[in-house]
């Protein structure tokens, strides 16, 4: 019993009774235990709800923080380029005063292209309605060669000989499987490239596909910014590659390779070295045991970005000890919208799997989609 005095000084008794009934003293411990259990259960449920809400909030904050960090990295790259331009203005104030554009250093151009490419590929990867290009995608409605093998085509159809003019096209895309598998570097991709030679104008033979090469591969990319002598090593790639023409004997051609591709850029120049090693096959299953004699041990590519967004690229492959080579020259320039006019010339061995041991000349004219250099870099 507790007693409390009111303002008038008169005592007022306030009585608090614990229990459901005053005279039920035997049930008091049981009722107290029930009350404690009810309070404990409510506290546990409340704690669980708070933990779930905190976990959801932390995931949202992590996703938001990742996007914020990537945006911050892009902003810092832009700020760095702006500061370099300001330094050039300080070093050459007379040119700036006369309105001449500030020329970027070659390594700055390469780093800017690398940053632009990363940003575009990240945006494409996160967009479920987009396709990220891998190699050059092109369509050549006119592709001429007078050196096609009549014997090989006779296994396709005996109705007529192959036309010298056909349609050549290539589709190539890649899909990101994992990002940053080694800390902050190492992106894993699956890629698929298909190149076809279509006798579209050979109606006497029912316009068959003379040859199609299928090239799936899985690789890991290491984007880099290592610099030496003005060149920037922008990317290193390790890949497992399968290439075949999907035909049965005697036209079956296939091989598996492991290659390492290294890309270097200096301003508007780009050099790619891609040595490869053929995975050995048994003598009974090897459709083309001498393919290394003609295709060699790797590809070397040299590209140059010219004025007005024009691009030229040269390819060299082959086996020096055997004296067998394959060379290709591509020249492209903006046509309309995102299409580029494209001219391609190939000479030597290895243009296709079916003709890997057949030396030929080929000239192709048409359109391509993705440029060699970054899309934003082309606007300089």
For the stretch 290-348, pLDDT in tens is 999 999 999 999 999 998 889 999 999 999 999 999 999 999 999 988 899 999 999 99
Alpha helices in 92-105 (DSSP H): 93-97
Q: What pLDDT is attached to residue 30?
A: 74
> Do 261 and 273 touch, CB atoms closer than 8 A?
yes
Q: What pLDDT is attached to residue 16?
A: 43
Determine the Cα–Cα distance for residues 68 and 66; give it in Å rounded to an integer. Answer: 5
Q: Which residue has the tokens 């390790």?
A: 238
**Secondary structure letter of residue 155 according to DSSP:** T
pLDDT exceeds 80 at position 185: yes
Closest CA to 105 of 266, 253, 241, 236: 266
Are both 269 and 224 inside the same structural domain?
Answer: yes
More confident residue, 22 or 257: 257
Angle at 60 between CA 55 and CA 65, to 5 degrees: 120
pLDDT exceeds 70 at position 376: no
When the pLDDT of each residue in the chain is averaged and rounded to a whole number, the result is 82
> Is the residue at 116 inside a domain?
no
Determine the Cα–Cα distance for residues 181 and 226; give it in Å rounded to an integer. Answer: 20
> Is the residue at 125 inside a domain?
no
**Secondary structure letter of residue 160 according to DSSP:** S
Q: Which of 4-13, 198-207, 256-265, 275-284 has the lowest mean pLDDT?
A: 4-13
Single pTM value for the model: 0.71
Mean pLDDT over residues 143-157, rounded?
Answer: 87
Q: What pLDDT is attached to residue 378?
A: 33
> Is the residue at 123 inside a domain?
no
Alpha helices in the chain (DSSP H): 28-91, 93-97, 106-126, 150-154, 291-295
Determine the Cα–Cα distance for residues 169 and 150; give it in Å rounded to an integer. Answer: 21
> Is the residue at 157 inside a domain?
yes
> Is the residue at 114 inside a domain?
no
Domain, as residue range, for 39: 24-103
> Is the residue at 16 inside a domain?
no
Are both 166 and 98 inside the same structural domain?
Answer: no
Are both 77 and 161 inside the same structural domain?
Answer: no
> Do 12 and 1 touch, CB atoms closer than 8 A?
no
Are both 194 and 305 inside the same structural domain?
Answer: yes
Are both 95 and 201 inside the same structural domain?
Answer: no
- Number of domains comprising the chain: 2
> Is the residue at 364 inside a domain?
yes
pLDDT band at 104 (very low <50, low <70, confident <90, very high): low
Catalytic residue status for 242: yes
pLDDT exceeds 60 at position 20: no
Catalytic residue status for 361: no
> Is the residue at 115 inside a domain?
no
Closest CA to 113 of 124, 102, 101, 121: 121
Closest CA to 238 of 256, 264, 266, 217: 217
Determine the Cα–Cα distance for residues 307 and 329; give it in Å rounded to an integer. Answer: 18
> Do 51 and 57 touch, CB atoms closer than 8 A?
no
pLDDT tens track for 261-288: 999 999 889 999 999 999 999 988 899 9
Are both 173 and 29 inside the same structural domain?
Answer: no
> Do 222 and 111 touch, CB atoms closer than 8 A?
no
> Do 364 and 168 touch, CB atoms closer than 8 A?
yes
> Do 201 and 207 touch, CB atoms closer than 8 A?
yes
Are both 75 and 200 inside the same structural domain?
Answer: no
Last residue of a domain, one of 84, 103, 122: 103
- Which residue is catalytic, options 242, 252, 310, 359? 242
Last residue of a domain, one of 49, 84, 103: 103
Are both 78 and 200 inside the same structural domain?
Answer: no
Last residue of a domain, one of 66, 84, 103: 103
Could you tell me the CATH number of the domain that includes residue 200?
A: 2.40.230.10
Are both 230 and 318 inside the same structural domain?
Answer: yes
Determine the Cα–Cα distance for residues 40 and 32; give it in Å rounded to an integer. Answer: 12
Are both 81 and 174 inside the same structural domain?
Answer: no
> Do 161 and 150 touch, CB atoms closer than 8 A?
yes
pLDDT tens track for 89-101: 676 555 545 555 5
> Do 249 and 287 touch, CB atoms closer than 8 A?
yes
- Which residue is catalytic, options 244, 252, 310, 359? 244
pLDDT tens track for 38-80: 877 777 878 777 777 776 666 655 556 766 776 777 677 667 7
Q: What pLDDT is attached to residue 18?
A: 44
Mean pLDDT over residues 115-129, rounded?
Answer: 67
């Amino acid at each position: 019993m507790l007693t409390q005095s009111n303002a008038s000084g008169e005592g007022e008794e306030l009585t608090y009774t614990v229990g459901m009934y005053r005279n039920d003293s035997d049930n008091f411990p049981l009722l107290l235990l029930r009350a404690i259990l009810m309070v404990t259960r409510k506290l546990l449920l409340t704690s669980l709800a708070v933990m779930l809400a905190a976990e959801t909030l932390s995931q949202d904050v992590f996703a938001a923080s990742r996007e914020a960090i990537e945006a911050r990295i892009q902003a810092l790259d832009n700020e760095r380029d702006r500061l370099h331009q300001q330094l050039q203005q300080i070093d050459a104030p007379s040119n700036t005063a006369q309105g001449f554009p500030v020329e970027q250093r070659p390594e700055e151009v390469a780093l800017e292209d690398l940053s632009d490419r990363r940003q575009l590929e990240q945006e494409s990867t996160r967009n479920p309605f987009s396709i990220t290009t891998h190699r050059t995608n092109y369509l050549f409605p006119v592709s001429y060669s007078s050196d096609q093998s009549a014997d090989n085509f006779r296994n396709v159809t005996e109705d007529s000989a192959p036309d010298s003019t056909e349609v050549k096209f290539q589709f190539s895309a890649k899909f990101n499987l994992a990002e940053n598998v080694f800390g902050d570097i190492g992106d894993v991709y699956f890629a698929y490239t298909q190149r076809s030679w279509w006798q579209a104008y050979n109606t006497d033979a029912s316009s068959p596909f003379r040859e199609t090469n299928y090239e799936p591969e899985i690789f890991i990319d290491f984007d880099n910014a290592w610099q030496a002598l003005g060149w920037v090593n922008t990317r290193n790639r390790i890949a497992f590659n399968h290439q075949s023409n999907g035909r049965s004997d005697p036209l079956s051609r296939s091989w598996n390779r492991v290659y390492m591709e290294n890309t270097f850029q200096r301003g508007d120049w780009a050099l790619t070295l891609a040595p490869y090693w053929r995975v050995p096959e048994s003598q009974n299953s090897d459709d083309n045991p001498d393919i290394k004699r003609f295709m060699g041990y790797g590809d070397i590519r040299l590209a140059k970005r010219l004025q007005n967004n024009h691009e030229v690229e040269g390819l060299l492959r082959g086996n020096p000890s055997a004296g067998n080579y394959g060379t290709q020259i591509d020249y492209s320039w903006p046509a309309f919208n995102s299409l580029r006019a494209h001219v391609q010339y190939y000479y030597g061995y290895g243009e296709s799997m079916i003709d890997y041991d057949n030396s030929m000349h080929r000239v192709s004219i048409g359109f391509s989609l993705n440029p060699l250099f970054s899309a934003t870099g082309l606007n300089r």
